[in-house]
Amino acid sequence: MTARTEQSHEPSAVARPRLGALAVGDQIGTRTVELDRSRLVRYAGASGDFNRIHWDQEFAEGVGLPGVIAHGMLTMGSVVGLVTEWAGDPGAVVDYTTRFSRPVPVPADGVATVEVSGKIGAIDVEAGTTRVDLTVTFEGAKVLMKTQAVVRLDG
C-alpha cells in the first residue's frame, strides 16, 4: 500500500498577524528543532558543505570540538520556521540575521534538540514591518545570538 498526501493550493485558513494588533514584547510562540546525523548528511548534499566536522567524529574531536556538530546555516535555517509559520508566508520575512555563538553537537544515535522562542522586538508602522527576536538554545545555552527577522505585515 502506498501512502499518498494531497497538498491544497488554497490560501491558509490561519489568520495572519496584523501589524496594528502587535505590541513590543508579544510572544509569537515556541518550537523545537531536532537534528540528527541523517539530517546533517542531507543538508551537506544540498548545500555542498562537506566539512568533516559535520560527519567525522574523530576529526571533529581532533580539532577541539565536542564531536560532530550541526552546520550553522542548517541551524539558522531551521529555527526561522517559527517566524514563517507565525507570519503565514515565508515571503513576508524580508531580512534575517544571526551570530553563531556555540556549536550544536549531534550524537551518533539520537537527536540534538534546539529550542526556539520568539517575541516582537520592534514595530515600524511606517515601513509596515516588525522585528521578531528569537532566542535559540541547546541544552540551556544560547547557540545563536542576536537572531532577528524583519517581517512585512498588513496593517
Per DSSP, what are the bridge partners of residue 129?
Answer: 124, 152
Instruction: Check residue 155 and give its pLDDT.
Output: 81
Burial bucket for residue 132 (CB in 10 Å: 0-12, 13-18, 19+)? buried
Tell me what the mean pLDDT of segment 86-99 comes to.
97
Distance CA 125, CA 100 (A): 30
Average pLDDT across the chain, whole number: 92
Top-tier CATH class for 19-35+71-152:
alpha beta
Distance CA 133, CA 137 (A): 13
Instruction: Check residue 14 and give its pLDDT.
Output: 61
- Domain segments of the chain: what residues? 19-35+71-152
Q: What is the pLDDT of residues 64-79, one digit of tens each?
A: 999 999 999 999 999 9
Distance CA 135, CA 58 (A): 31
Contact by Cβ (8 Å): 130, 93:
no
Whole-angstrom CA distances from 42 to 15, 37, 71, 104, 144 are 33, 9, 11, 17, 22
pLDDT band at 113 (very low <50, low <70, confident <90, very high): very high
Contact by Cβ (8 Å): 87, 151:
yes
pTM for this prediction: 0.87
Is 127's pLDDT higher than 60?
yes
Supply the DSSP string of 60-107, one letter for each residue: HHHTT-SSSB--HHHHHHHHTHHHHHHHT-GGGEEEEEEEE-S--B--
Q: What is the pLDDT of residues 18-61, one digit of tens each?
A: 999 999 999 999 999 999 999 999 999 999 999 999 999 999 99
Distance CA 116, CA 155 (A): 26
Helix H or strand E encompassing 85: helix 81-87
